């Protein structure tokens, strides 16, 4: 099967070959690229394994939500990382920032990051100045047992230096029909909806730019810690400064998103005037 990577220009192939992600696998159809990479990791696969697919039949998002897309319409890819446990929580941000770089490099479109794991495009970019941000991509990162853990002995918290398996997956909408399914209308967007030149975006070059950017950013994270990545994340995060409502499952938090702390958690100044740190939750942008 010919994949979108088979026709890469020599320079793009050279740049990809200089990374730890040098030999991506691209399949026409699979259940879930995240599941495929997790299975490979449990069999001892190397860091840097990349699996992309034209179609997923059992794609997943956060909270086990279904992620589906027409065949060939999206960049669907999962990446195996093995960072120290102390740095594993920053894998999602590293992938989000790298995907943001890839979109800008290939299309010239600047997108934002909605905390913690979505790439979004402002409504104005699709002719709706007063409209909400539209979701362009979602990221799901899953972690597995540290290499030194004995599963028969039960779970233990990994030490900061223990290497853990992180599978970071992204679904990025590239070329969708003009009429989105009713459940996505006004919520999602694809690159081909933005302007005519973007409609020609190719998944192969997008993946190359994403992996090249991730190589630099991940190497910097391992060598120097999360400081510079956090600074980038704060700058790109369009949630900061917004009025938000956060669904935590058991309750909601409402207020203004004011910062990311040193762990990447969202700091919210609540309507009662207190500050609350949110580690995970579904964020709704209430106003700009």
How far are the Cα atoms of 24, 101, 264 from residue 187, in angstroms, in the given order?
Answer: 31, 22, 25
Residue with tokens 């599978």: 167
Residue 6 pLDDT exceeds 50: yes
Mean pLDDT, range 141-164, rounded to an integer? 69
Antiparallel, parallel or unpaired: β 252-260 and 243-247: antiparallel
Share of the chain above pLDDT 90, in %: 68
Q: Which residue has the higher pLDDT, 170 or 147?
A: 170
Both tokens of 9, joined, read 């220009």
Cβ–Cβ under 8 Å, residues 193 and 122: no
What domains are there in the chain, each with its CATH number? 10-236 (3.30.930.10), 243-287 (2.30.30.100)
Residue 180 pLDDT exceeds 80: yes
pTM: 0.91
- DSSP secondary structure string, 67-128? ----TTSEEEEEEEE--BTTTGGGHHHHHHHHHHHHHHHHH----EEETTTEEEE-GGGGT-
Question: Residue 58 and residue 79: Cα distance in Å, rounded?
Answer: 17
Work out the number of other CB atoms within 10 angstroms of the CB of residue 1. 8
Residue 242 pLDDT exceeds 70: yes
Instruction: Name the strand (E) or helix (H) holding 262.
Output: none
Mean pLDDT, range 272-280, rounded to an integer? 92
Q: Residue 14: pLDDT band by 50, 70, 90 thresholds?
A: very high
Q: Residue 151: pLDDT band by 50, 70, 90 thresholds?
A: very low
> SS3 of 270, please?
strand
Smallest Cα–Cα separation from 140: which of 103, 178, 96?
96
Residue-level pLDDT at 248: 83
Mean pLDDT, range 44-70, rounded to an integer? 79
Q: Residue 181: pLDDT band by 50, 70, 90 thresholds?
A: confident
Alpha helices in the chain (DSSP H): 10-17, 33-42, 91-107, 203-224, 227-236
Interval 255-275: pLDDT, tens: 999 999 999 999 999 988 899
Kindly tell me the sign of the dihedral angle through the C-alpha atoms of 27, 92, 90, 35. negative
Smallest Cα–Cα separation from 15: which of 233, 223, 204?
204
Q: How far is CA 246 from the centre of its chain?
A: 19
Question: Residue 268 and residue 118: Cα distance in Å, rounded?
Answer: 18
Interval 113-136: pLDDT, tens: 999 989 999 887 777 777 789 999
DSSP assigned state of 235? H
Mean pLDDT, range 149-178, rounded to an integer? 79
Produce one character per residue of 31-61: b if its CB has 16 or more CB atoms within 10 Å, e if not: ebbbbbbbebbeeebebbbbbbbbbbeebbb
Question: Residue 177 and residue 274: Cα distance in Å, rounded?
Answer: 45
Residue-level pLDDT at 7: 87
Q: Which residue has the higher pLDDT, 244 or 66?
A: 244
Residue-level pLDDT at 19: 98
Interval 62-119: pLDDT, tens: 555 555 678 889 999 999 999 999 999 999 999 999 999 999 999 998 999 999 989 9
């Amino acid at each position: 099967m010919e994949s979108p990577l088979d026709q890469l220009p020599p320079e793009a192939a050279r740049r990809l070959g200089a990374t730890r992600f040098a030999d991506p696998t691209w399949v026409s159809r699979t259940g879930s690229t995240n599941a495929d990479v997790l299975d490979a990791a449990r069999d001892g696969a190397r860091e840097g394994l990349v699996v992309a697919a034209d179609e997923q039949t059992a794609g997943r998002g956060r909270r086990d939500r279904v992620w589906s897309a027409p065949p060939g319409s999206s960049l669907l890819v999962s990446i195996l990382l093995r960072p120290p446990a102390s740095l594993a929580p920053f894998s999602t941000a590293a992938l989000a920032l790298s995907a943001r770089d890839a979109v800008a490099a290939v299309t010239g479109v600047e997108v934002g990051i909605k905390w913690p794991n979505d790439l979004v495009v402002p409504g104005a970019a699709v002719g709706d100045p007063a409209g909400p941000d539209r979701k362009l991509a979602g990221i799901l990162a899953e972690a597995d047992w540290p290499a030194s853990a004995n599963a028969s002995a039960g779970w233990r918290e990994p030490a900061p230096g223990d290497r853990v398996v992180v599978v970071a997956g992204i679904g990025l909408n590239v070329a969708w029909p003009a009429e989105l399914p009713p459940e996505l209308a006004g919520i999602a967007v694809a690159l081909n909806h933005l302007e005519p030149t973007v409609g020609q975006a190719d998944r192969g070059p997008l993946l190359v730019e994403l992996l090249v950017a991730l190589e630099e950013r991940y190497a910097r994270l391992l060598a120097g810690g999360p400081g510079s990545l956090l600074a980038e994340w704060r700058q790109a995060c369009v949630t900061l400064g917004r009025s938000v409502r956060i669904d935590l499952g058991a309750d909601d938090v409402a207020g203004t998103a004011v910062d990311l702390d040193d762990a990447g958690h969202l700091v919210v100044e609540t309507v009662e005037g207190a500050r609350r740190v949110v580690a995970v939750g579904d964020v709704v942008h209430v106003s700009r």
